[in-house]
Amino acid sequence: MEALRAAFDFSDFRPTERWVSRAVAAFLLVFPLLPVSSFAMATMIQFLMFSLYGMGWNTIGGYGGQVDLGKAQYVGIGAYTTAVALIRWDVPFWVSMPVGMGFAVLWSFAIGYPLFRLRGHYFAIATIAASLVLKDLFEVWDFVGAARGLEIPAHRFATPDFVRLIFKEDVYYYYVLLAFFFGGVLYMNAFRKSRLGYQLRLIKDNEDMARSLGINVHWAKVKTYAIATAFVSMVGSFHACYIKSIEPEDTMSLDLSILIALMAMLGGAGSLWGPIIGAGILIPLKSYFKEWFGARAGLVGMDLILYALIIMVVSAAEPRGIWGLVERYRARRESA
């Protein structure tokens, strides 16, 4: 109950931030009503998805301070659970999604428990290793279509189908996802003010002190990891219904894991708005780069080169991301 109140309570943010977020929220609500191209709509949907991925990552990577580069495996678990459930047994989205989250959380406990004994780079590489192992398994497992992947035959269903989440027009997907997006933001708001949220912040700073206060650091990290995976799996399920064609190479690849981590890091890991800002910048950038450069022959990979350069510049210049820049600017203004 208290958590619910906490979720809606944004009072500890500055007025400017609150106004900007209200404006953005309003914009997001009316966006589909504006005359926008289908490309823009698709980009916006990607933005919302990646904001959510980023928020999930932020739980363990930002607040928790453990860099996780294997999130894509959970996207896969969510996507495949929903896809398989729908194709084989006609299970509605609203059932398969929580089931997928359940599988994701179970897997996260299985690898999280040993994983969290590691720190720093070792942890990061281990997350990559685990993710690649799972991907390799999916690539040979016929039940999930192996490397060919799965296709959800949309024509089979009468759209709009809210039960199975199959729609012909992006608009429906957009609003469903937007609901998830707002829910995600509220959840994260409650999370950072919860007991676990505070404990994580101390753990990040000073693990020994946290232990001396009775906090089981290992378990706190495992729990947080589980939350992050549930988030990511949820969006993965949505991904399956939206893209309708999934295969290990695009739902579970290392590139996707890195992209997710990057959203949060670019925007500012450890802050509520960070992942959203990060996604807001990177997704349109990525989409439009691809549009401009991809079409031109001979410039293959140019979009990725630019994208790589952005990553490099941000990591070297302001690792705390855009939000870090904002805070630096504020600190300077206040001390002046």
Partner 1 sequence: MPALLEVMELTKVFGGLRANDGISFTVGAGEILGLIGPNGAGKTTLFHCITGFHRPERGTVRFDGRDVTGLPPHRIARLGMARTFQTYVAGGDLTVLETAMVGCFSRTASPFRARSRAREILGFLGLAGLADLPIRDLPVAGQKKVALATALGTEPKLLLLDEVAAGLNPGEIGELMDAIRHVHEERGVTLIVIEHVMELVMNLSDRVLVLDSGRLIAQGLPHEVAHDPAVIRAYLGEKYAARYLGEASR
Partner 2 sequence: MDILVSSVVAGVLIGMVLALVALGLTIIFGVMDIVNFAHGEFLMLGMYTGLLTANATGMDPLLGIPVAAVVGYLLGVACYWGFIRFLLRGPMVAQLLGTFGLMLLLRNLALLLFGSEDRGVNTGILVGRSVDFGMGVIVPATKLAAAALSLVSFAAVWMLMNRTRVGKALTATALNAQAARYMGIPTERMNALAWGIGGATVTIAGALIVNFWSVNPYVGLLFTMIAFTIVALGGFGSVPGALAAGIVVGLLTEIPGIWDFVAYATEWDWMMDVPVTSFKYTFVYLAYFVIMVVRPRGLFGWKH
Q: What residues make contact with partner 1 under the rule CB under 8 A? A: 2, 6, 193-195, 198-199, 201-202, 204-206, 208-217
Nearer to partner 1, 21 or 194 (CB): 194
- Helices then strands, counting H and E runs in the chain, come out as 15, 2
Whether the CB-CB separation of 331 and 279 falls below 8 Å is answered with no
- For 228-259, b where at least 16 C-beta lie within 10 A, e where not — what string? bbbbbbbbbbbbbbbeeebbbebbbbeebbbb
The least CB distance from residue 250 to partner 2, in Å, is: 15
Residue with Cβ nearer partner 2 (26 or 312): 312
In the bound state with partner 2, the residue whose beta carbon lies nearer, of 169 and 291, is 291
283 binds, among partner 2, partner 1, none (CB under 5 to 8 A by kind): none
Which helix (H) or strand (E) segment holds residue 335: the answer is helix 321-335
Which lies closer to partner 1 via its Cβ, residue 193 or residue 290?
Answer: 193
Q: Which residue has the tokens 């977020």?
A: 21
**266 near 278, Cβ under 8 Å?**
yes
Which CB, 207 or 249, lies closer to partner 1? 207
Nearer to partner 1, 201 or 244 (CB): 201
Give the nearest distance from C-beta 105 to partner 2 in angstroms: 19
Measure the CA dihedral 32/50/190/205, to 10°: -150
- Residues numbered 63 to 92 that lie near partner 2 (CB under 8 A) are 67, 69
At 13 the three-state DSSP class reads: coil
* CA proximity to 181, closest of 189, 96, 60: 189
Contacts of residue 162, defined as CB under 8 A and 6 or more positions apart, other chains included, come to 172, 176
In this chain, which of 48, 83, 97, 128 binds partner 2, going by CB under 8 A? 128
Closest distance of CB 249 from partner 2, Å? 11
Answer yes or no whether residue 124 interacts with partner 2 by CB under 8 A.
Answer: yes
Rounded to a whole number of angstroms, the minimum distance from the CB of residue 106 to partner 1 is: 25
302-317 and 274-289 helices cross at what angle (nearest 10)?
A: 150
Judged by CB under 8 A, does residue 254 bind partner 2? yes
Q: Looking at residue 300, what DSSP letter applies?
A: T
Q: Please give the residues from 280 up to 309 whose contact with partner 2 meets the rule CB under 8 A.
A: 299-302, 304-305, 307-309
Q: Which of partner 2, partner 1, none binds 202 (CB below 5-8 Å, type-dependent)?
A: partner 1
- The SS3 assignment for 245 reads strand
**Least distance CB 113 / partner 2 (angstroms):** 9
Min separation Cβ 104 and partner 1, Å: 25
Rounded CA gap, 95 and 117, in Å?
A: 34
> Phi and psi for 271 in degrees, rounded to 5?
-125, 160
Residue carrying the six token digits 């009503």? 33
Binding residues for partner 2 (CB under 8 A): 61, 67, 69, 111, 114-115, 117-118, 120-122, 124-126, 128-130, 132-133, 136-137, 139-140, 254, 258, 261-262, 265, 269, 299-302, 304-305, 307-312, 314-317, 319-320
